[in-house]
């Protein structure tokens, strides 16, 4: 007999055994893997991460206080651009793992010698934020933020002026 559920050939007299096998945990269909809440992508032409939610950088800063998250994002970006054959399915997981390794690297090791300690990089205080202008990241005072770009990221006055000046030069040519 052919099982109508799984298509297996079942010997005569073994139908009850095969049906019991269908009811075991081992034969239960696997649940679909949940899709990530955020879809982070790498735009190689723009040389930028896309789809990183606004508060995620702050979350990473709190979770990995020993890692300089903006600098590590740049390092991860350069590595990913330089290694296109290593394209990832889940860039959010890739970045999180990258930061975890950076956190581990920031801890002093026994080979560092006695009395050697590294101060962990601190996230910005309540008066600071991260400016995403001019293709990079840097700290800026919240009071200096003049606009939010099309991706919802803060842009400080200095970066905004520099971007407008480069647009003016590009339009004149």
C-alpha–C-alpha distance, residues 27 and 19, integer Å: 11
Q: Is the pLDDT reported for residue 94 higher than 90?
A: yes
Q: Is the pLDDT reported for residue 117 higher than 50?
A: no
Which pLDDT score is estimated for 116?
47
C-alpha–C-alpha distance, residues 42 and 44, integer Å: 6
Q: Would the pTM of this model clear 0.85, i.e. be above it?
A: no
C-alpha–C-alpha distance, residues 94 and 96, integer Å: 6
Of 154 and 125, the structure prediction assigns the larger pLDDT to 154
Which pLDDT score is estimated for 77?
92
C-alpha–C-alpha distance, residues 57 and 20, integer Å: 50
Q: Is the pLDDT reported for residue 41 higher than 70?
A: yes
Element (H, E) at 171: helix 157-172
The answer to which of 12-16, 62-66, 100-104, 147-151 has the lowest mean pLDDT is 12-16
Which pLDDT score is estimated for 38?
73
- Tokens 């297996």 belong to which residue? 8
Which pLDDT score is estimated for 136?
67
Query: Could you tell me if 95 and 40 are in contact, meaning their C-beta atoms sit under 8 angstroms apart?
Result: yes
Whole-number average pLDDT of the chain? 78
Of 65 and 133, the structure prediction assigns the larger pLDDT to 65
Q: Is the pLDDT reported for residue 84 higher than 80?
A: yes
Query: Could you tell me if 77 and 41 are in contact, meaning their C-beta atoms sit under 8 angstroms apart?
Result: no
Compute the average pLDDT of residues 107-122: 51
Query: Could you tell me if 57 and 130 are in contact, meaning their C-beta atoms sit under 8 angstroms apart?
Result: yes
The pair of three-digit structure tokens given for residue 120, joined into one six-digit string: 């962990």
Compute the average pLDDT of residues 133-150: 80
C-alpha–C-alpha distance, residues 142 and 129, integer Å: 6
Count of CB atoms situated within 10 Å of the CB of 62: 9
């Amino acid at each position: 007999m052919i099982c109508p559920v799984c298509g297996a050939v079942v010997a005569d007299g073994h139908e009850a055994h095969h049906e019991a096998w269908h009811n075991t945990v081992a034969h239960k269909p696997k649940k679909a893997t949940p899709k990530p809440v955020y879809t982070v992508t790498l735009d190689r032409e723009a040389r930028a991460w896309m789809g990183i939610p606004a508060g995620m950088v702050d979350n990473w800063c709190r979770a990995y206080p020993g890692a300089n998250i903006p600098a590590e994002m740049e390092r991860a970006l350069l590595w990913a651009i330089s290694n296109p054959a290593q394209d990832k399915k889940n860039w959010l997981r890739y970045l999180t793992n990258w930061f975890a390794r950076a956190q581990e690297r920031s801890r002093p090791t026994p080979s560092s010698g006695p009395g050697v300690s590294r101060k962990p990089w601190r996230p910005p205080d309540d008066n600071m934020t991260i400016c995403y202008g001019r293709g990079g990241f840097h700290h800026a005072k919240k009071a200096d933020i003049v606009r939010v770009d099309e991706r919802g990221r803060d842009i400080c006055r200095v970066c905004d002026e520099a971007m407008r000046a480069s647009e003016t030069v590009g339009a004149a040519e």
